[in-house]
Chains A and B, each alone.
Chain A
Amino acid sequence: MEGLLDHHEFDILPEGCVSAILSFTSPQDACKSSLVSTIFQAAADSDVVWESFLPADYQEMVSRSTVPCKFSSKKELFLLLSNSLLIDGGRKSFKLEKSSGKKSFMLSARDLHITWSDESPYWHWGSLPESRFSEVAVLRTMSWLEIVGTIKTRMLTPYTKYGAYLVLKITDRSYGLDLMPSEISVEVGNNQASRNTAYLRLPKDHARKQQMESLLYGNRMHMLKSRVAEGDGRVPSERDDGWLEIELGEFFSGGNDEEVKMSLMEVKGHHLKGGLIIEGIEVRPKKLAFPSPNYSSKKEFVLQAGVELVSEVCKQSQDFQSCFQILTSHPQTLSASDKKAIAEKALALARKESVGTSGFFAGLAQRNPASKAVLGKCAADFKEAVQFLNLKGLQGGTASLDVHYALDDAESCESSLSSGHVHIDSATARIKKWKTVYEAAEAATMDSKNRIVIFAAIVLYLFLHFASQTEAGVELASKVCKNSENYESCVQTLTSYPQTVAAPNEKAIAEKALEIARKESEDTSVFFTGLAQANPASKAALEQCAAHFKEAVQFLNLKGLQGGTASLDVHYALDEVDQCQDALSSGNVLIDSATSIIQKWKTVNGFQ
């Protein structure tokens, strides 16, 4: 029967299967794979594949288009949408990012709230050939500059980091725009996602102007600057389309529908300004920052996974946005491979913040002799908090308590401040800042503690996915034994068995080690049974030991490890041994060989 089939044909995946696979990849991968073979080409052009790359609401987008969309396949539609489409009567434009299929929008100036923009002496609506929109807003002269745009996260691709960019031009005859920094911010729901400052000036003029200001108007600039909060004073950068853009801030589109408010304001200088042209605000997926300038997209993919992990972690935090902000601002957390790594990083951040806060209060205490005692106590409180914020503490089982102690420290500081009637704004702000970092750390550890808390045996399991096939068994064994309390005897035990040395990965070692432990437990049980018969006087205690070790056998297996009861199970085995020891000592049975065999058993189990 087999002989009748063309073996080659039998091996080839049907087109339907290929399209199903491709729909799990990206638009870029699908296009690329059409070159693999004719079957792949047919699959890569299929509607099944491209429907999966289109956003769920693509039909709504098509219906909002100002011109009718003509397309004969889903692929054609995708490529059409990847070239920006005017929607909502030309007030917005919509676009899919070609490589990833993520959505981006541009709100035209007409779709923004620009204060006084309908009063002709101040603002003027004109049209520019280089604009995608029919109208742009031109600032003639006005002291109050306020530009606000809003968008719902429901319209965006979920779980994606977005940046908001004000798209503008600065005319040759502009004035007053950059006398002082403008305040820029992005808010999501009721939370501040980011706040900063920017100078509305041409990028090429920035260095020259900065130099001149510090030489000629140093004091005046400083006075104006002090009216707004600290910021990095960013300047616009040039876009490919001839416009300038300035990043107003970034935010994360979570699973909920929230309103994002993006704004630029310069309302504290009271001087007239003019010569600014606003095209709109663009909201587009943000390329994740990565230290290396020529990162490969593979790394970006890893980072994307990091972002998803972080957002999962921050869902447990009361303040999702600031938790997310804190954790994603460090490349280390983004490249973290699991929640444990994120937890470690988050705790390190919290420790650093605690040290900083402690130093802050110590400084404050010196400057305020009247409240020295109270402020000094706060410095001590935060110093104490540092030691509670560590993963080692987490592993002890007192996990949640330890991290909470740090919060107690902060609260004790707060209460001594209020009972001592010390009201210093900067101190309140500092504690608030500490708390956001702390909450991020707490959220990060909350999840990881389930995995780490009790026993390092699970660490074996965590390694599974990252095990390298090429590593030698001995190296693996020593890696595994780092988790053991007794490294030397752990390595010795594991490497003395040929099976563990030949083991291809940690999982195999864990299995072997457990097998060895099981065998040792069985042998020990048999040993005690024999001993019980030879020593009728201590029979009861020795038989109890035999039973305990027999019971230990069943707790030592990998299936158990993989379940949630993992750590408990291995611990139970250890408990059995301790109970045996208790039975022996309470029965006053001191048989040297019994003690030494228990010692041996413990060594074999030392890998845990």
Chain B
Amino acid sequence: MSSSTDSPTLTTETTQLSPQPDTETAKPTKKITLKSSDNQIFEVEESVAMEFATVKSFFEDSPSSTDIVPLPNVTAKPLSQVIEFCKEQIKFKANPDEAQKKKYNAEFLTEKSDKDLVDMIPVANYLEIKDLLDVLNQAVADRIENKSVEYVRNFFGIDNDFTAEEEAALRREHAWAYEGVDED
């Protein structure tokens, strides 16, 4: 890609958001602009954006490229929640307090609906935020633990795509696993 230092065409609609003088070294905190698939613009501190391995490597590959990073696989709502989480983690990085971090994480997760959690996982996965991915996976695992198959389908909003024969065969294979599940 030969994207030059001149402003690329796809970002024209957002230029008014951040007038970018060429005096970035003088600025104490650099902002990075992210654009979700539904064309929402997020302006975040550079330190927060660098938590996203995907964004970080975007800049490492082309350091002089645009300040607007398009995220075609990510919608606005989960992205805003992911940013909220990472902002908080930065604070804990500067000022480590394990107990408080645990507390924050627990609260962040309990407040979220099932759908919010499930929606954030592909975002955290795409942006390669390992810490967040771990806590999300654990939280979702806790919520589906010991639940019935139907409950798990509803939880993830997934349709059953097995034929009746396939389903019967699978049930036979793991008969022991279907005993003693919780009421939905």
Task: Give chain A's interface residues, CB within 8 Å of chain B.
Answer: 1-2, 5, 11-14, 16-17, 20-29, 31-41, 98, 296-298, 301, 464-465, 562-564
Q: Nearest CB to that of B159 among chain A residues?
A: A37
- Once A and B bind, how many residue pairs between them come within 8 Å at the CB atom? 107
Instruction: Digitize B1-40: 1 where CB-to-A-CB distance is under 8 Å, 0 elsewhere.
Output: 0000000000000000000000000000000000001100
Residues from chain B with a CB closer than 8 A to the CB of A17 are 121-122, 125, 137
Q: In the complex, what distance in Å separates the CA atom of A190 from the CA atom of B121?
A: 48
A13 vs chain B, min Cβ distance (A): 6
A304 vs chain B, min Cβ distance (A): 11
Q: Nearest CB to that of B148 among chain A residues?
A: A32
A396 vs chain B, min Cβ distance (A): 23
Residues from chain B with a CB closer than 8 A to the CB of A562 are 100, 103-104, 107
Residues from chain A with a CB closer than 8 A to the CB of B170 are 34-35, 41
Residues from chain A with a CB closer than 8 A to the CB of B177 are 27-29, 31-32
B140 vs chain A, min Cβ distance (A): 5
Q: In the complex, what distance in Å separates the CA atom of A40 from the CA atom of B140?
A: 14
A594 vs chain B, min Cβ distance (A): 39
A13 with B182, Cβ < 8 A, contacts A21-B141, A32-B149, A464-B107 known? no
By the criterion CB–CB under 8 Å, are A25 and B141 in contact? Answer: yes
Residues from chain A with a CB closer than 8 A to the CB of B141 are 21-22, 24-25, 29
By the criterion CB–CB under 8 Å, are A35 and B146 in contact? Answer: no
Residues from chain B with a CB closer than 8 A to the CB of A31 are 174, 176-177
Q: In the complex, what distance in Å separates the CA atom of A297 from the CA atom of B182?
A: 8
User: Which stretch in B46-54, B57-65, B160-168 binds the other chain?
Assistant: B160-168
Q: Nearest CB to that of A507 among chain B residues?
A: B107
B127 vs chain A, min Cβ distance (A): 13
B124 vs chain A, min Cβ distance (A): 9
A83 vs chain B, min Cβ distance (A): 12
By the criterion CB–CB under 8 Å, are B145 and A301 in contact? Answer: yes
Partner of B121, one of A13, A22, A33, A41: A13
Q: In the complex, what distance in Å separates the CA atom of A258 from the CA atom of B157?
A: 48
A39 vs chain B, min Cβ distance (A): 8
Residues from chain B with a CB closer than 8 A to the CB of A2 are 37-38
Q: List 23 A-B contacts (CB under 8 A).
A: A1-B37, A5-B37, A11-B157, A14-B125, A16-B125, A22-B141, A24-B138, A27-B177, A28-B177, A31-B174, A34-B174, A35-B162, A36-B158, A37-B158, A37-B159, A37-B161, A38-B161, A40-B158, A296-B180, A297-B146, A298-B182, A562-B100, A564-B97
A438 vs chain B, min Cβ distance (A): 27
Residue B99 CB within 8 A of the other chain: yes
Residues from chain B with a CB closer than 8 A to the CB of A35 are 149, 162, 167, 170-171, 174
B106 vs chain A, min Cβ distance (A): 7
Residues from chain B with a CB closer than 8 A to the CB of A301 are 145-146
Task: Give chain B's interface residues, CB within 8 Å of chain A.
Answer: 37-38, 72, 97, 99-100, 103-104, 106-107, 110, 118, 121-122, 125, 133, 137-138, 140-142, 144-146, 148-149, 152-153, 156-162, 167, 170-171, 174, 176-178, 180-182
By the criterion CB–CB under 8 Å, are A12 and B158 in contact? Answer: yes
By the criterion CB–CB under 8 Å, are A21 and B158 in contact? Answer: no
Q: In the complex, what distance in Å separates the CA atom of A22 from the CA atom of B121?
A: 13
A32 with B174, Cβ < 8 A, contacts A14-B122, A296-B182, A297-B146 known? yes
B36 vs chain A, min Cβ distance (A): 10
By the criterion CB–CB under 8 Å, are B178 and A32 in contact? Answer: yes
By the criterion CB–CB under 8 Å, are B110 and A21 in contact? Answer: no
Residues from chain B with a CB closer than 8 A to the CB of A465 are 106-107, 110
B119 vs chain A, min Cβ distance (A): 8
The DSSP consensus for interface residues of chain A is helix
Q: In the complex, what distance in Å separates the CA atom of A564 from the CA atom of B104?
A: 12
Residues from chain B with a CB closer than 8 A to the CB of A36 are 149, 152-153, 156, 158, 160
By the criterion CB–CB under 8 Å, are B144 and A33 in contact? Answer: yes
Residues from chain B with a CB closer than 8 A to the CB of A14 are 122, 125
Going nearest first, the 4 A-B pairs with the smallest beta carbon separation are: A24-B141, A31-B177, A31-B174, A32-B177
By the criterion CB–CB under 8 Å, are B181 and A37 in contact? Answer: no
B166 vs chain A, min Cβ distance (A): 9
Q: In the complex, what distance in Å separates the CA atom of A297 from the CA atom of B146?
A: 8
By the criterion CB–CB under 8 Å, are B144 and A37 in contact? Answer: no
Residues from chain A with a CB closer than 8 A to the CB of B103 are 562
A37 with B160, Cβ < 8 A, contacts A1-B37, A17-B121, A26-B145 known? yes
Q: Nearest CB to that of B142 among chain A residues?
A: A24
Q: In the complex, what distance in Å separates the CA atom of A41 from the CA atom of B153?
A: 12
A98 with B176, Cβ < 8 A, contacts A25-B144, A35-B171, A564-B97 known? yes
By the criterion CB–CB under 8 Å, are A37 and B107 in contact? Answer: no
Partner of B122, one of A13, A22, A563: A13
Residues from chain A with a CB closer than 8 A to the CB of B137 are 17, 20-21, 23-24
Partner of B162, one of A20, A26, A33, A37: A37
Q: In the complex, what distance in Å separates the CA atom of A38 from the CA atom of B159?
A: 10
Q: Nearest CB to that of B167 among chain A residues?
A: A35
Residues from chain A with a CB closer than 8 A to the CB of B149 are 32-33, 35-36
B35 vs chain A, min Cβ distance (A): 11
Residues from chain B with a CB closer than 8 A to the CB of A38 are 161-162
Q: In the complex, what distance in Å separates the CA atom of A128 from the CA atom of B125?
A: 56
By the criterion CB–CB under 8 Å, are A32 and B181 in contact? Answer: yes
A169 vs chain B, min Cβ distance (A): 29
A84 vs chain B, min Cβ distance (A): 16
A509 vs chain B, min Cβ distance (A): 15
A13 with B146, Cβ < 8 A, contacts A24-B138, A32-B177 known? no
By the criterion CB–CB under 8 Å, are A33 and B152 in contact? Answer: yes
Q: In the complex, what distance in Å separates the CA atom of A36 from the CA atom of B142?
A: 17
Q: In the complex, what distance in Å separates the CA atom of A186 from the CA atom of B38?
A: 64
A3 vs chain B, min Cβ distance (A): 11
Q: In the complex, what distance in Å separates the CA atom of A27 from the CA atom of B145?
A: 11
Q: In the complex, what distance in Å separates the CA atom of A34 from the CA atom of B161?
A: 12
Q: Nearest CB to that of A24 among chain B residues?
A: B141
B64 vs chain A, min Cβ distance (A): 26
B39 vs chain A, min Cβ distance (A): 8
Q: In the complex, what distance in Å separates the CA atom of A37 from the CA atom of B72?
A: 26
Residues from chain B with a CB closer than 8 A to the CB of A464 are 107, 110
By the criterion CB–CB under 8 Å, are B118 and A13 in contact? Answer: yes
Q: Nearest CB to that of A461 among chain B residues?
A: B103
Residues from chain A with a CB closer than 8 A to the CB of B148 are 32
